[in-house]
């Protein structure tokens, strides 16, 4: 009888450990998703800035090649 009780206690301990581990892993996933969202936002902001810089650069280089009005 003691063996059965010992096995039950051992199984309960394992289940408890698994539950705790599952909660920890879920929290890691939540934290990683938040980080991914922040990185995606930063990337989108950087893409907009790069496009703006490229547009400004093209406009400036185009005006540099134009001859002054007195030529």
Q: Tens of pLDDT along 3-58?
A: 999 999 999 999 999 999 999 999 999 999 999 999 999 999 999 999 999 888 87
> What is the rounded CA–CA span in Å between residue 66 and residue 8?
87
**Please, which pLDDT band fits residue 63 given cuts at 50, 70 and 90?**
low
Chain centre to alpha carbon of residue 35: 4
What integer pLDDT is reported at residue 60 of this predicted model?
74
Asked whether the predicted pLDDT for residue 66 surpasses 90, the reply is no
Q: What local confidence, expressed as pLDDT, does residue 71 receive?
A: 55
Give residue for tokens 């490229």.
54
């Amino acid at each position: 009888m003691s063996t059965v009780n010992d096995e039950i206690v051992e199984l309960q301990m394992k289940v408890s450990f698994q539950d705790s581990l599952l909660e920890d892993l879920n929290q890691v996933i939540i934290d990683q998703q938040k980080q991914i969202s922040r990185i995606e936002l930063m990337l989108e902001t950087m893409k907009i800035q790069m496009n703006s810089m490229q547009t400004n650069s093209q406009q400036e280089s185009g005006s540099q090649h134009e001859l002054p009005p007195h030529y």
